Structure 1
């Protein structure tokens, strides 16, 4: 996996102070994408064990309440286990909340074993492709009105999409 950027302390994505990872690579090609350069799977730097350890050290900071995973497309990170391993470590070592943004919808993610494996560690999924014609800058945590902010634990428990009350 390659990554484009890490924000040690991020207050612009998700609630509270969070540590954010922008992965490289996306096959969605959404019109109006604001991270177009991150669509290239070779963009940025190679993810390493050292980078993973450093990222975890940021997450373990007492001021950090959780993690954001954006891209690129996190659910396209299935060619290796790098993202899966990172999310697993976050849960095992910190149990802090993980929010993940994906152009794929929840129903498609859970029907794909590789993507669902990543979702296992996610607390909140913001799903759906950004749609320029549905762009709405007043929405919290998402860019277009078709996107949903999903509580994964409740959705799995009720076997249907349960959106997070914001």
Structure 2
């Protein structure tokens, strides 16, 4: 897996102060995307042990609420295995931290992915410029959903988070 940036002390991509991993690779090519530089799966730099250590050093801080995985698309097919491994490792090592994941895929397309059992909140759906709304919290367009993943998995139906 490749990535473009690790943002520290972020308050825009989930609840609380967070660390954000911006991965490379996205095939959705949403018009109006705020981060098209991340579309190229060969772009950015290799997510190696040093990058993992940098991410974990941030998560080790008491005041950091969790990690947000964005991009690009963490669920771009070429990222799924590495993201799954990373999510499982974060969940095991930092059980009190939340994991948010942004994807252009709809829940219905990816619900079978085992890595979702490690995710707390999934922001799903492609960015749609015609439905863009800067007043929305944690999502760019009204079609995107904030999904409570543990509740959704438990109830076998999509459970949305109220803003």
**TM-score, scaled to structure 2:** 0.94
Q: Would you say 1:34 and 2:31 are equivalent positions? A: no
1:49 Cα deviation from its structure 2 partner: 1.8
Change in 2 beyond 3 A, CA 1:143/1:80: closer
> Deviation string for 1:106-142 (max 9, x for gaps)?
111114xxxx123221100000000011111111100
How many residues in Structure 1 have an aligned counterpart in Structure 2?
A: 162
Q: Secondary structure at the match of 1:3?
A: strand
- 8 A Cα contact 1:77 1:83, kept in partner: no
5+ residue gaps, structure 1, are: none
Moved over 6 A (4+): none
**TM-score, scaled to structure 1:** 0.93
Q: Secondary structure at the match of 2:105?
A: coil
Q: Secondary structure at the match of 2:89?
A: helix
- 8 A Cα contact 1:102 1:128, kept in partner: yes
Q: Return the alpha-carbon distance in structure 1 between the equivalents of residues 150 and 34 of structure 2.
A: 29
> Deviation string for 1:61-110 (max 9, x for gaps)?
11101110000011015457322221111111111100011100011111
5+ residue gaps, structure 2, are: none
Change in 2 beyond 3 A, CA 1:158/1:80: closer
| Other-structure match for 2:133 | 136
1:8 Cα deviation from its structure 2 partner: 2.0
Q: Return the alpha-carbon distance in structure 2 between the equivalents of residues 143 and 80 of structure 1.
A: 23
Q: Secondary structure at the match of 2:31?
A: coil
Q: Secondary structure at the match of 2:118?
A: coil
- 8 A Cα contact 2:25 2:78, kept in partner: no
Q: Return the alpha-carbon distance in structure 2 between the equivalents of residues 81 and 45 of structure 1.
A: 17
**1:43-82, aligned counterparts within 5 Å?**
43-78=43-78, 81-82=81-82
| Other-structure match for 1:10 | 10
Q: Return the alpha-carbon distance in structure 2 between the equivalents of residues 80 and 139 of structure 1.
A: 27
Q: Return the alpha-carbon distance in structure 2 between the equivalents of residues 70 and 37 of structure 1.
A: 13
RMSD over equivalenced CA pairs, Å:
1.3
